[in-house]
């Protein structure tokens, strides 16, 4: 190039010397790499997807912990709630079981994601400083790479929990259960990833997750009833991912249950008179009978929550790309 021929001129020597500290081997390598590949979005997509998948699926301690924690939970639940009945106790047990499943998915996945992004974040910021690739593609790649392992874990958990406890046995009800838990895991994984991306201080990030999740859990439908939440905390109920999950699982389970038996010897005649008679009466019995708690509203809320959380994470990726961390 032209500059080599003019190397003798003092001005160039000065400028050459001046720029020397920018040309670290990494930077030169990346410059060369970008000169070759930088133009093509497809190359970026393929490379980043490849790298994200390798990053997730060669991290055996991470994969192991994810799978073991799900199996551990599933086995405990299977032991506690095995052989669910169709009487009043069975209804209580089903409610407890479904609520535990949503709570477990929401908490464990947020924490996994939080730690996940702490390691890859530094590398991401370093690469953004040399302008390697679009944050949006990086976001898509990392988001997609986590889906198969989440799906596998939730499938394992669903199979064990579903069949060991005797929840309503139909393929449709099972897949509904699986999809709800899978979407919950995507939502809470996204929530943890968002916090991990947006907050650089480890201690703060770790305490923010439960600080936001516990109020969501309180509004999850079982710990405080609607009258206690509304009207002041209705906004919290509306963003409670625990609530969407629990209500969808309740709808799924109880809409399929027919007659519920009740033994007057156990519950007394008045006790039985107060109990829901059929599965479909359980949801109104729990106080979720208005339109804003209906199934379709919960599905839309869950989808909107996932979209907003993930969009927030994408924005955070753009922000930290230019931040000085």
Q: What are the tens digits of pLDDT across the range 262-271?
A: 777 777 777 7
What pLDDT score was predicted for residue 324?
Answer: 54
Task: With cut-offs at 50, 70 and 90, classify the pLDDT of residue 287.
Answer: confident
What pLDDT score was predicted for residue 163?
Answer: 85
The residue among 108 and 236 whose pLDDT is bigger is: 108
Task: With cut-offs at 50, 70 and 90, classify the pLDDT of residue 307.
Answer: very high
The residue among 37 and 34 whose pLDDT is bigger is: 34
What pLDDT score was predicted for residue 216?
Answer: 86
Distance (Å, whole) CA 176 – CA 302? 14
The residue among 284 and 252 whose pLDDT is bigger is: 252
Q: What are the tens digits of pLDDT across the range 140-155?
A: 999 999 999 999 999 9
Contact 192, 114 (CB under 8 A): yes
Provide long-range contacts, Cβ within 8 A and 24+ apart, for 274-279. Answer: 275/88, 275/91, 276/91, 279/253, 279/254, 279/255
Q: How many helices (H) and strands (E) does the chain have?
A: 15, 0
Instruction: Write the CB contacts of 26 (distance below 8 Å, at least 6 apart in sequence).
Output: 130
What pLDDT score was predicted for residue 288?
Answer: 79
- Cα 152 to Cα 139, 156, 158: the distances in Å are 21, 6, 10
Task: With cut-offs at 50, 70 and 90, classify the pLDDT of residue 217.
Answer: confident
What pLDDT score was predicted for residue 11?
Answer: 44
Distance (Å, whole) CA 255 – CA 234? 26
* Average pLDDT for the chain: 82
pLDDT tops 80 at residue 235: no
Instruction: Write the CB contacts of 179 (distance below 8 Å, at least 6 apart in sequence).
Output: none
Instruction: Look up residue 48 and give its two tokens.
Output: 């980043």
Inter-axis angle of helices 171-198 and 135-165, nearest 10:
140
The residue among 233 and 82 whose pLDDT is bigger is: 82
What pLDDT score was predicted for residue 304?
Answer: 95
Q: What are the two backbone dihedrals, phi and then psi, of residue 87, each rounded to the nearest 5 degrees? A: -105, -170
Distance (Å, whole) CA 206 – CA 197? 12
pLDDT tops 80 at residue 173: yes
Say how many residues make up the chain: 325
Q: What is the mean pLDDT of residues 130-135?
A: 80
pLDDT tops 60 at residue 42: yes
């Amino acid at each position: 190039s032209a500059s080599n021929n003019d190397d003798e001129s003092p001005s160039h020597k000065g400028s050459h010397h001046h720029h020397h500290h920018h040309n670290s081997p990494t930077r030169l390598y990346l410059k060369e790499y970008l000169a070759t590949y930088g133009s093509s979005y497809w190359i970026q997509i393929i490379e980043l997807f490849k790298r994200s998948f390798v990053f997730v699926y060669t991290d055996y301690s991470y994969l192991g912990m994810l799978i073991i924690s799900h199996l551990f939970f599933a086995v405990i639940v299977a032991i506690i709630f095995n052989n669910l009945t169709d009487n009043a106790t069975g209804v209580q047990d089903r409610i407890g079981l479904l609520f535990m499943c949503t709570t477990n998915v929401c908490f464990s996945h947020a924490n996994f994601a939080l730690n996940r992004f702490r390691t890859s974040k530094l590398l991401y910021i370093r690469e953004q400083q040399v302008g390697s690739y679009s944050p949006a593609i990086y976001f898509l790649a990392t988001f997609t790479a986590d889906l198969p392992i989440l799906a596998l874990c939730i499938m394992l958990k669903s199979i064990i929990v579903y069949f060991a406890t005797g929840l309503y046995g139909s393929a449709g009800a099972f897949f509904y259960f699986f999809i709800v838990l899978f979407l919950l895991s995507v939502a809470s994984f996204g929530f943890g990833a968002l916090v991990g991306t947006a907050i650089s201080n480890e201690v703060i990030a770790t305490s923010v997750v439960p600080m936001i999740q516990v109020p969501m859990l309180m509004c999850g439908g079982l710990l405080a009833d609607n009258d206690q939440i509304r009207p002041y905390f209705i906004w919290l109920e509306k963003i409670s991912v625990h609530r969407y999950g629990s209500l969808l699982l309740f709808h799924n389970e109880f809409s399929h249950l027919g007659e519920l038996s009740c033994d007057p010897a156990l519950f007394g005649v008045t006790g039985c008179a107060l109990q829901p008679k059929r599965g479909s009466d359980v949801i109104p019995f729990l106080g979720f009978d208005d339109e804003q708690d209906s199934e379709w509203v919960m599905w839309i809320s869950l989808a909107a929550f996932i979209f907003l959380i993930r969009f927030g994470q994408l924005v955070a990726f753009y922000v930290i790309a230019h931040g000085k961390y």
